[in-house]
Structure 1
Amino acid sequence: MKKLASKGLLMSALICGNVFLGSTAVFAEEVQEYSLDAMVVTATRTMKQIQEVPSSVSVVTAKDIEERNITSVPEALQTLPGVYKSQAIQGGIQLRGFGSGDILVLVDGLQMNYPFNSTVDWEMIPVENIERIEVVRGAGSSLYGGHAVGGVVNIITKDAKKKGLNANIVLNYGSNNTWKKALYADVKANEKVSFGVGYENRKSDGWGNYYQTKAASKGSGTIVPDNKPPQLSNGKYIVATRGDRKYESETYSANVKYNFDAERSLKYTFANTTSTYYYPSPKSYIYKDGKPVWSGKVDLGNGTYVSPSLGTSLGYDGEKEYNKHTLAYNDDKNKINANFSLLDMKKSGYS
């Protein structure tokens, strides 16, 4: 049986503005050092110092990501208080008890929540290309709509800052043959034009999960097994598992930015992400004559039996493909920021 979500297009536009005035006095005789407070935009949609924001706000910077050797966005978010990361492969997050479906996730103004079930595919967001992550806790639907029930995660990506070619190569390896390979490069041609490209590949042989358990029934079974299946503390027996969930994702990205002057700029960003997952090796915990048992009444030898089911021991084969387009205009002088975005979900389904 094949389930496919139809192709969907998600368009969003954000225009906001704010004007404020200030003054600064400098005395030549005094040499003082200041630690500038973080500036955030998410809570009010205008640039403010973090202590002026009437919400609970946290920021993860590019420096934090580098110093802590963080390899994914959920991993970066779980360093903040009140944020919990699921330990499942490609797992989501919880913010004050709300799951990923009730947390709005933005990347350069583009909503990343899947319209079908509001979840987020975190592999679409390369962590090495992030300038900062702003997390606003609490309801934000009055500003951002229905997805922002538990909070908002706003991700701002990097721009080329140094003239010439700048490159970043990432190679990580972990248990279960887990790999991450990434390459990012940007070029600042002059004061007006800069552009960048990126590639990321993640893959893992995964680990076992989704164990099938069965409660014993009274009576005699028709199959006398070679072994008795493992029993849990609640009295149920582990009869099978889907096996290891393997996955692989690949992302290509590119951006170009044009500075009209020191205060006005236009930036276009594109990214394509494909991902697959599957369970290649379901396993039975019951054997008869050295062969796995997937169905029938298995006698436990104490006046009870269990009935495994092959259907609930099989996993899914899933495939997704997305294209992301974002056009952002910034006018620092007039405090105007406009984002026009398109998220094209070409494939999203499983069998």
Structure 2
Amino acid sequence: MPIRLKPLSAALLAACAGGAFASAAHAADSDTQLQEVVVQGGSAPGLPKELPAVTEAVTRQQMADSINVINTEDALKYLPSIQIRKRFIGDSNGIVASRSSGTLVSARSLVYADDLLLSNLLGNSYSYPPRWGMVTPEEIERVDVIYGPFSALYPGNAMGAVINMTTRMPDQFEAHAKAQAFDQHFKLYGTDESYSGKQFSAALGNRAGALSWWFNANHLDSRGQPMTFLTQPLSAKAAAAGDRQVNGAQTDLDPSGAARTILGATGIAHTIQDQAKLKLAYDISPTLAASYTLGLWQGDNTTNVASYLRDAAGNPVYSGKVNFGGRQYTLKDTDFNPGSSEQQHWMHGLALGSHSGGTWDWQALASLYDYSRDLARAPTTALPAAANGGPGTLTDMGGTGWRTLDLRGTWRPNPAHEANFGYHFDHYQLDTQISSTASWTSGPALSRTSAFAGKTETQALYAQDAWRFAKDWKATLGGRWENWQAFDGAVSNATSTLPFAARNETFFSPKLALSFQPAAAWSLRASLAQAYRMPSVAELYQGSISNNAIVKNDPNLKPEQAWSGELTAERELGNGLLRISYFQENASDALYSQTNLATNVTNIQNIDRIRTRGLELAYQGTDVGLRGLDLAGSITYADSVITQNDANPATVGKRQPRVPDWRATVSATYRQNPQLSYALAGRYSGRQYNTLDNSDGNADTYGGVSKFFVLDLRLRYKVDRQWSAAVGIDNLTNQQYYVAHPYPQRTLSAELKYDF
């Protein structure tokens, strides 16, 4: 049975009770307001030194004053060119989008917490998001973002961005507790409901000599708005005499502009998530430290449905042939399909390293992420009978997971050189079995209906040298060699299992950057890099068997390859920083699901070439025109176009899915005094598409991908040194917008926090 954390969370709560967004800014050590300091030409805490790429950051103090943070990924929502596809509070499918990658390709970004990998690189879709839930907002010291694959220290998944969250360790005894509540009223089609939730978190930490420890627990209970709707094209078939007369359906136009009928709401999620984490750190010597992290995340989720159809007696209708407006519609037994899932995931991390700052430093880091329990259930019979159980399907991913090992060294032979080098290993294992069950609500697996399995491994060697070869000049030269293997792949149906041949391939990715500082306030940099993103286990091996042959997958997929370039100029303004960057990515063999027109097969395929280029302007400043007023903003233009696709030529010249033409953020935080702060922030996303051929021209509807401008408000008041309270509104103007699914409408939140 899953371990329940609610009693533990409650006990800790009881015990505890007894902006601007700076580019490379120092973290605040407490909620006391500290002046932000801009770091030029070096690294920020939590990042490797001498990075040849643009970085942006948000600190713990900025999160407290300026952002309505409920889930961890909220911390990033005003950073330049970064968008997290968070569909509702507690959404576990929050994919990262960046300059050149949209929210359909989860494997084109990397997310770490204290250098422990949280990105789920088993697949490349909404089903494989980063494991944000393994980090709570309260433990974050700062979040840093690195744009592009310009550092040899990271694999090719950095094509989009690298996100590293640095968490806190205490210097003395600490106790924290926070309670949050939130609510949105959602109105769309036949749904007119309020969806609310609550979250409780608590943490304890201390340092005793060389040993420091931190323990936190978190409990989230959230109800989200409908994620999907049951739709059918507007029927051209006249109703028959025996069809059940219904009313309540809605009509509109689908993303391609065709008329359709909306029969009900589905995917109405109720999620209960619990998280606990223990972190231990020990200073073996003044320059040598070890740490261990143990994390547990578990989720219990139910997905409900709501039919809009009512018969003459007012009863909901879920299946069969119905007469709506004189037209016939047929509902399958599984059209209104509820579901549930149970998940229990464990994470282990062990690190040992030196931090002398002298000639040599080194680090060894190992991590393990384990799906110890991961079950999803759904009925195969129609409601209302299915509400009480009955036959169904059971999907079991237990045993899936990944492990990593990193050995890193830093050599500083003289002030002109700082070299980083290392070895990386990762192993991914996917094990998915779908079975029948006599009771979809709680029954065990009976007979297998299908299964997918496979493994990949990567070993890499890398080196990178930052060479200050002349006054005001620096060259960063690097390369990454990778050996990638895919093996033990197999796909099964009810009676047969067919294996895939193993693969073993090697790649090399060069990196180059040149920096020049013509004046004290100016910094210029040009960067160029090649990167390979290896196919994931799911992309290679999730298929099916027909006539004793494997169909609908391609185990011979090529890795994605990209040449990325960037030109950046930064201007120090005294109380702020202004940056402009030109970026371009020439990607080949990009991995997307599409239909090959020559074979009429739809599966994940390599698209020959995609070109993305654009400009990004970012600004942040403190005390701008008024003491206590911090401003930040960014605007990004991206032209991302498919330039060659031999399998589907109709997509050539079309925009890459989910990469908008314009993005912008703006944030103003006013600290009236040390106790009271106000924040107003906005997010804009321009035109984008959900399909490779850009046929979804009707964007502002369910299934479309809207452009949007959303305003958020936050007010925070520190009652005294221990107590603080905040209220917030996300989507102040109640904009209705979509990323295929509907985004949240106006959401109110309130929080009360205690810090000792």
For the aligned pair, the TM-score class normalised by the smaller chain equals 0.7 to 0.9
What is the aligned partner in structure 1 of residue 334 from structure 2?
311
Q: Residue deviations 1:87-125, cap 9 Å, x none?
A: 413141312233333211111221112243242232221
Q: Does 1:62 align with 2:88?
A: no
Residue matched to 2:216: 198
| Paired AA for residue 227 in structure 1 | N
> Aligned ranges for residues 55-94 of structure 1 at < 5 Å?
55-68=53-66, 69-89=68-88, 90=91, 91-92=93-94, 93-94=96-97
Counterpart AA for 1:193: L
1:148-173 deviations in whole A, cap 9, x for unaligned? Answer: 33121111111112x2x211111100
The residue correspondences of 1:144-293 to structure 2 (distance < 5 A) are 144-161=154-171, 163=172, 165-175=173-183, 176-190=195-209, 192-222=210-240, 223-233=243-253, 234-242=258-266, 244-280=268-304, 282-289=305-312, 290-293=314-317
Alpha-carbon separation, structure 2, partners of 1:273 and 1:315: 23
SS of residue in 1 equivalent to 2:335: helix
SS at structure 1 position matched to 2:319: coil
For 2:53 and 2:164, how far apart are their aligned partners in 1? Answer: 14
Q: Which residue of 1 aligns with 2:149?
A: 139
- Please tell me whether the aligned partners of residues 57 and 137 of structure 1 are also in contact (alpha carbons under 8 angstroms): yes
Higher strand share: 2
**Using the alignment, how far apart are the partners of 2:298 and 2:151 within structure 1?**
30
Q: How far has the Cα of 1:226 moved from its partner?
A: 4.0
Instruction: Among all aligned residue pairs of Structure 1 and Structure 2, give the percentage whose two residues are the same amino acid.
Output: 20
49, 52, 70: which one pairs with 1:47?
A: 49
Q: 1:236 to 1:321 in 2, by over 3 A?
A: same
Whole-Å separation in 1 of the counterparts to 2:98 and 2:44 = 19
Decide whether aligned partners of structure 1 residues 84 and 171 sit closer, same or farther in structure 2, where only a CA change above 3 A counts: same
Higher relative contact order (CA 8 A, sep 6+): 1
Provide the rounded CA distance (Å) in 2 between the counterparts of 1:276 and 1:220: 43
CA contact (8 A) 1:140 1:150 kept: no
User: Which residue of the partner structure matches residue 369 of structure 2?
Assistant: 343
Q: Aligned-pair distance for 1:325?
A: 1.3
SS at match of 1:311: coil
Q: Which residue of 2 aligns with 1:107?
A: 113
Cα distance in 1 for residues equivalent to 2:156 and 2:374: 22
Q: Identify the match of residue 37 of structure 1 among 36, 39, 57.
A: 39
Shift of 1:230: 0.9
Aligned to 1:21: none
Q: Secondary structure at the match of 2:58?
A: strand
Q: Which stretch has the larger CA shift, 224-233 or 253-262?
A: 224-233
Residue by residue, what CA displacement relative to the aligned partner does 1:273-293 show, whole Å, maximum 9, x if unpaired?
11121114x221112222222
> What displacement does 1:41 show?
6.9
CA–CA distance in structure 1, aligned partners of residues 225 and 324 of structure 2: 28
Partner residue of 2:497?
none
**Separation in structure 2 between the aligned mates of residue 243 and residue 328 of structure 1, nearest angstrom:** 40
Deviation at 1:86, TM superposition (A): 1.9
SS at match of 1:65: helix
Displacement after TM superposition at 1:306 (Å): 2.4
Cα pair 1:212 1:241 within 8 Å, conserved? yes
Q: 1:299 to 1:178 in 2, by over 3 A?
A: same
Distance in 2 of aligned mates of 1:205 and 1:34: 37
Shift of the 242–35 alpha-carbon distance from structure 1 to 2, 3 Å rule, reads closer
Q: Distance in 2 between the 1:154 and 1:243 partners? A: 31
Q: CA deviation at 1:34?
A: 9.9
Deviation beyond 6 Å, 4+ runs, structure 1: none
Checking the alignment, whether the CA contact within 8 Å between 1:240 and 1:308 is kept in structure 2 is no
| Pair 47,338 (structure 1): closer, same or farther in 2 beyond 3 Å | farther
User: Secondary structure, in 3 states, of the residue corresponding to 1:67?
Assistant: helix
What are the ranges of 5 or more consecutive residues in structure 1 without an aligned counterpart? 1-32
Which residue identity does 2:44 align to in structure 1? V
Relative to the length of structure 1, the TM-score reads: 0.80
Contact 1:108 1:155 (C-alpha < 8 Å) held by counterparts: yes
Q: For residues 180 and 140 of structure 1, do their structure 2 counterparts lie closer, same or farther at Cα, with a shift above 3 Å needed?
A: farther
Which range is displaced more, 230-239 or 304-313? Answer: 304-313
CA shift for structure 1 position 206: 1.9
The structure-2 alpha-carbon separation of the partners of 1:36 and 1:332, relative to structure 1 and needing over 3 Å to count, comes to: farther
User: Which residue does 1:9 correspond to in 2?
Assistant: none
Residues 140/287 of structure 1: CA separation in 2 closer, same or farther (3 Å cut): farther
Cα distance, 1:344 vs. partner? 2.1
Distance 1:266 1:305 in 2: 68
Q: CA deviation at 1:224?
A: 4.7
Contact 1:201 1:249 in 2 (8 A): yes
Distance in 1 (alpha carbons) for counterparts of 2:236 and 2:73: 46
Judge conservation of contact 2:107–2:121 (CA < 8 Å) in 1.
Answer: no
Q: Structure 2 vs 1, CA of residues 227 and 34 (structure 1 numbering), >3 Å: closer, same or farther?
A: closer
Work out the CA distance in 2 between the residues paired with 1:98 and 1:34: 32
Preserved contact between residue 214 and residue 308 of structure 1 (Cα < 8 Å) = no
Q: How far does residue 181 in structure 1 lie from its aligned partner after superposition?
A: 0.5
Pairwise CA distance, 1:140: 5.7
Quote the offset at 1:85 in angstroms. Answer: 2.3
Contact 2:320–2:333 (8 Å) recurs in 1: no
**Cα RMSD after superposing both structures:** 2.4
Q: Within 2, Cα distance between the matches of 1:143 and 1:188?
A: 32
Q: 2:98 aligns with which of 88, 95, 117?
A: 95
- Residue 4 of structure 1 corresponds to none
> Does the 8 Å CA contact 1:214/1:307 hold for their aligned counterparts?
no
The residue number in structure 2 matching 1:320 is 343
Q: 1:301 to 1:71 in 2, by over 3 A?
A: closer
Partner of 2:145, secondary structure, is strand
Residue in structure 2 matching 1:119, options 117, 125, 129? 129
**TM-score (normalizing by structure 2):** 0.39
Shift of 1:346: 0.8
Q: How many residues align?
A: 308
Secondary structure of the residue aligned to 1:335 is strand
> Residues 173 and 179 of structure 1 are in contact (CA less than 8 Å); yes or no, is this contact kept in structure 2?
yes
